């Protein structure tokens, strides 16, 4: 069964105001109206409501941390052959979309809902998700894009940690495997949640775009690989921040030889969002195009000479 995630209305957003105003998601409200107008959909979809705060664990488990925006339609794998996959994003073996126009088109075509009559043929959302070019992926060593994730990211040296915006902190230990594009990551929550252990292959397409493929591990598997793989280690605390719904913001606070370095990372779901994003008040110099601030180079070379300049 297809799963439709919607934001529960009546949430607050302290990043936007400190008066406790109640908000609703316009796109989720639009789809609630579609469900009210086409009541048969409630028997054809698994409709789930999630809260505004991130991480939204149910979504993360299904489509990954970078794609927990709402509304979010996750297709039943049995329906993949019935759609144009280019209109959807892929995470693992699931196709999904946060584009409201794609969602309503799919509901009409697949589930017999009424057809949306957008004025002038427009959409309720501005940007379609960015897709993976299979030729580029193959050139970079990913012959199949089915299990490849596209990361769109910008980075800034952070002036200070905005502690009032922190919603979750995790401890991260990375090992960058020598002679490869592999990274072994151990991520442990400070609140006692289950760890995230994975082996990833990351390759840059350009300064702000990279392709990632990951294998998630159990504790014995992680220990086996950690003992077998030689590499350079990096320790940091990642502070996930409240911010715009379609942008993932986090500040990495580094330990050990990199102590004192704070890096702000922003992840996006479209190139348009990436280009249009305005750095928040706590961001300093942008270092997206400086390879010395990549994780692998920080582990290998230490603090860049320009740090603090």
| Three-state SS letters, the chain | CEEEEEECCCECCCCCCCCCCCECCHHHHHHHHHHHHCHHHHHCEEEEEECCCCCCHHHHHHHCHHHCCCCEEECCHHHHHHCCHHHCEEECCEEEECCHHHHHHHHHHHHCCCCCCCHHHCCCCCCCCCCCCHHHHHHCCCCCCCCCEEEEEEEEEECCCCHHHEEEEEEEEEEEECCCCEEEEEEEECCCCCCEEEEEEEEEEECCEEEEEEEECCHHHHHHHHHHCCEEEEEEEEEEECCCCCCEEEEEEECHHHCCCEEEEEEECCHHHHHHCCCCCCEEEECCCCHHHCHHHHHHHCCCCCCCC
Instruction: Please say which residue of 89, 121, 153 terminates a domain.
Output: 121
How confident is residue 189, by pLDDT bands cut at 50, 70 and 90?
confident
What pLDDT is attached to residue 126? 44
Least confident of 26-35, 186-195, 289-298: 186-195
Q: Are residues 115 and 141 in the same domain?
A: no
Question: pTM here?
Answer: 0.62
Domain assignment present for residue 245? The answer is: yes
Within a domain: residue 41?
yes
- Could you list the residue range(s) of the whole structural domain that residue 283 is in? 134-301
- Asked if residue 41 has pLDDT above 90, the reply is yes
Residue 82 has pLDDT above 60, yes or no: yes
Contact 137, 211 (CB under 8 A): yes
Please state, in angstroms and rounded to a whole number, the distance separating the CA atoms of residues 156 and 262.
9
The residue among 304 and 230 whose pLDDT is bigger is 230
Are 290 and 174 within one domain? Answer: yes
pLDDT at 226: 97
Residues 216 and 146 grouped into a single domain: yes
Residues 61 and 16 in one domain: yes
Summarize pLDDT for 64-74 with one digit per residue, the tens. 887 888 999 99
Please give the pLDDT value at position 130: 60
Work out the pLDDT band at 309, boundaries 50, 70, 90: very low
Residue 129 inside a domain? The answer is: no
Domain count, the chain: 2
């Amino acid at each position: 069964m297809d799963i439709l995630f919607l934001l529960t209305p009546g949430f607050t957003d302290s990043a936007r105001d400190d008066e406790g105003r109640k908000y609703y998601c316009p796109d989720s409200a639009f789809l609630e109206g579609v469900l009210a107008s086409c009541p048969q959909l409630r028997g054809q979809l698994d409709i789930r409501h999630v809260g505004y705060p991130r991480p939204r664990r149910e979504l993360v488990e299904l489509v990954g941390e970078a794609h927990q925006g709402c509304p979010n339609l996750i297709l039943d794998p049995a329906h993949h052959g019935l759609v144009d996959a280019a209109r959807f994003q892929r995470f693992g073996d699931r196709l999904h979309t946060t584009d409201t126009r794609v969602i309503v088109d799919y509901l009409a075509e697949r589930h017999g809902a009424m057809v949306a009559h957008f004025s002038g043929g427009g959409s309720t959302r501005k940007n379609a998700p960015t897709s993976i070019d299979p030729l580029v992926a193959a050139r970079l060593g990913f012959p199949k894009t089915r299990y490849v994730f596209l990361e769109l990211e910008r980075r800034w040296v952070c002036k200070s940690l905005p502690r009032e915006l922190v919603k979750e902190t995790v401890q991260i230990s990375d090992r960058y495997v020598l002679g490869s594009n592999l990274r072994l990551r151990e991520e442990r929550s400070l609140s006692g949640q289950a760890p995230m252990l994975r082996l990833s292959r990351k390759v840059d397409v350009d300064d702000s775009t990279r392709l990632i493929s990951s294998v998630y591990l159990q504790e014995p598997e992680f220990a086996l690989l950690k003992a077998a793989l030689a590499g350079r280690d990096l320790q940091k605390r990642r502070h996930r921040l409240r911010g715009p719904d379609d942008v993932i913001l986090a500040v990495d606070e580094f330990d050990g030889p990199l102590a004192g370095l704070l890096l702000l990372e922003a992840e996006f779901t479209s190139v348009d969002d990436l280009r249009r994003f305005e750095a928040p008040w706590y961001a300093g110099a942008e270092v997206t195009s400086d390879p010395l601030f990549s994780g692998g180079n920080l582990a290998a070379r230490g603090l860049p000479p320009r740090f603090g300049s």
